[in-house]
Amino acid sequence: MIQQHFAQHATEILKNDESVIGLAVGGSWLSNEIDRYSDLDLILVTKEKVSADQSKMLQYANQLGEMISAFTGEHVGEPRVLICLYDNPLLHVDIKFLTPDEFASRVENPVLLIDRDNQLKLILDQTEAQFPYPDYQWIEDRFWTWMHYTMLKIGRGEYLEAFDFFGFLRMIVFGPLLHIKNNNLPRGVRKVETQLHTKDFNLLKSTIADYNRASLIGSLENAIELYKNLRKELYAYDIKQNDKAEAAVMKYLTTIK
């Protein structure tokens, strides 16, 4: 696969660079799920902090192949990542630039390709990876206001706004909660087509509306029903439900209908 060839080439390029402490790879590499559509997630650990200077990030990345595009990942909340597109062959590569101290905080245990003096292995042995899970109370505190917002957009005829907001809900609420229900990591809507039970996947699809009022309202009702069932199944007793907001919003739904 082109991802393995690229990683091997990067290892050969960087292994003799004294500024490099280590190179690691994560993502689908770890679960042996790489296919021809996969990107490559590299972690480059250096003695000095590189991520504060985009020109330095580009210097490292340019060594690894024929780079035709690159930008930092502020839009996904990770400015330390350089998102690169290489050509010949065409390949998407994310390179996260870290110091050893930053390497300790991670969501998974990557495979080490370069590890000068076993520094990274020592960090992996002494610390634990922690994948971020959704805060159920945070979701409950917002959900009914989100529903009201969506109803307002439908009522006003701003169907595209409502349509897009359902996508937000699938990414932030329904995808993660359904993944947890199915004993997966809560990776938004990543791989829901293959990692959710058919019934749960169909419930998720029921929140996808067509561009018309009736379909949007139907998807809204499906979203509410899905959330209430997931809340019942997943939330612990200490999650405080906002019954007053729920009742008021459900009453307003009859007005919108």
Same-domain check for residues 74 and 141: no
> What are the contacts of 137-141 at 24+ separation with CB within 8 A?
137/239, 137/240, 139/172, 139/173, 140/231, 140/235, 140/239, 140/240, 140/241, 140/242, 141/242
Whether 150 shows a pLDDT value over 90: the answer reads: yes
Q: Give me the domain span that covers residue 223.
A: 136-256
**Is the CB of residue 118 less than 8 Å from the CB of residue 136?**
no
Q: Has residue 10 been placed in a domain?
A: yes
Tokens (6 digits) for 222: 């499906």
Chain center to CA of 238: 27
Asked whether the whole model's pTM tops 0.85, one would answer yes
Chain segment 42-61, per-residue pLDDT in tens: 999 999 999 999 999 999 99
Which residue has tokens 């024929």?
A: 66
Of the candidates 81, 106, 126, which is a domain's last residue?
A: 126
Residue where a domain stops, chosen among 78, 94, 126 = 126
Same domain flag for 66 and 144: no
Look at the block and give the residue holding tokens 């499906």: 222
Of 100, 126, 152, the last residue of a domain is: 126
52: DSSP letter? T
149 pLDDT band (50/70/90 cuts)?
A: very high
Residues 6+ apart with CB under 8 A from 103: 22, 43, 45, 120, 123
pLDDT at 118: 97
> Do 189 and 106 fall into the same domain?
no
* Residue range 180-231, pLDDT digits in tens: 999 999 999 999 999 999 999 999 999 999 999 999 999 999 999 999 999 9
Specify whether 122 is located in the same domain as 142.
Answer: no
Contact 186, 179 (CB under 8 A): yes
pLDDT for residue 163 is more than 90: yes
Task: Tell me the C-alpha distance between 172 and 179, whole Å.
Answer: 12
Cα maximum dimension of the chain? 68
The CA-atom distances, in angstroms, between 214 and each of 1, 98, 143, 164, 224 are 46, 49, 21, 16, 16
DSSP 7-22: HHHHHHHHTT-TTEEE
Tell me, yes or no, whether 35 and 142 share the same domain: no
145 and 121 share one domain: no
Q: Is residue 131 part of a domain?
A: no
- Residues 185, 94 within the same domain: no
Distances (CA, A) of 77 to 44, 161, 168: 18, 23, 16
In this structure, are residues 241 and 231 in contact, taking their beta carbons and an 8 Å threshold? yes
Using CA atoms, how far residue 145 sits from 209, 237, 248, 249, in Å, is 20, 22, 10, 8
Helix (H) and strand (E) counts in the chain: 11, 6
Q: Note whether 179 and 66 are same-domain residues.
A: no
Write down the pLDDT at residue 29: 85
Examine the domain organization and report whether 88 and 150 are in the same domain. no
- Number of separate domains in the chain: 2
Residues 118 and 194 in one domain: no
Partners of 42 in the β-ladder: 25, 95
For 2-38, what is each residue's pLDDT tens digit? Answer: 999 999 999 999 999 999 999 999 988 888 888 899 9
Confidence of residue 74 (pLDDT cuts 50, 70, 90): very high
Residues 166 and 97 in one domain: no
Residue 121 to residue 112: CA distance in whole angstroms: 8
